[in-house]
Amino acid sequence: MSYFAKTRDLEIEVEYVAVFSELLERIANGEADVAAGTITITEDRAQTMDFSAPCFPVQVVLVERSGETSESLNDLKGSKVAAFEKTTTEEALREIGGVEVVTRQGVPGMLESVAAGKIGAAAGDSSAIMPVIDDYPGLEISMAFGKRQQFGFALPKDCPGGSRRGQPRCRARGANALGKTSVVQPLG
């Protein structure tokens, strides 16, 4: 975000949040002008925020201990599976039924819990899991599930620069559509 603003001679204030759900809440409440992170574009989220054009494909993957992998999602019934709170991954796991979804903050916490045998599996976006899975030699990606989705930048509803150009509801932050305050949730 900072680099993008610099290349366009714009001022930008980047604020980091530790919890993914805060990222979405700040945008939905109009408390930030743009959000960047692993934000999946969904119809439900589009009710409270706008999105940029899709910019990154993603799919949910399941991580389990090597040699103890599931053959289907039904094999997860009766297991504890970690996911990030208020995400499309959490929603998908709850749809399986019989799975105890345990919300964890950060990919390392999820993967460490699987490696230690505290939970049976962890599920998350491929973009968050793939870069770090090799740091956990006793774990493997056992399957991808759900449909492929797209990430995008999130903006307050009806904000100039969003996918729907209606009456601006953004905070007054200068003349550019990017605004001045962006909220970023770092991977992991």
Residues 35 and 98 in one domain: no
Residues 163 and 136 in one domain: no
DSSP secondary structure string for all residues of 112-173: HHHHTTSSSEEEEEHHHHTTTGGG-TTEEEEEEEEEEEEE--EEETT-TTSSS--S--S---
Percent of the chain, pLDDT > 90? Answer: 27
Question: In this structure, which long-range contacts are made by residues 25-28, counting pairs with CB atoms below 8 Å and at least 24 apart in sequence?
Answer: 26/183, 27/154, 27/155, 27/156, 27/183, 28/156, 28/157
Please indicate, yes or no, whether the overall pTM of this predicted structure exceeds 0.85: no
Lowest mean pLDDT among 10-19, 133-142, 160-169: 160-169
Residues 72 and 83 in one domain: yes
CATH code of the domain in which 137 resides: 3.40.190.10
Strand runs labelled E in 8-94: 13-16, 34-36, 49-51, 56-65, 80-83
Residues 62 and 142 in one domain: yes
Residues 50 and 60 in one domain: no
Between 188 and 156, whose confidence is greater?
156
Closest Cα partner for 60 from 113, 126, 128? 126
Q: Give the pLDDT mean for 109-126.
A: 93
Between 53 and 188, whose confidence is greater?
53
Residues 77 and 27 in one domain: no
129-161 tens-digit pLDDT: 888 999 999 999 999 887 777 777 777 787 655
pLDDT band at 185 (very low <50, low <70, confident <90, very high): low
pLDDT reading at 176 higher than 80? no
Lowest mean pLDDT among 28-42, 94-108, 149-163: 149-163
Query: What domain count does the chain have?
Result: 2
Mention every residue, 6+ apart, whose C-beta is less than 8 A from residue 158: 50, 164, 165, 166, 167, 168, 169
* Domain span at 127: 56-149
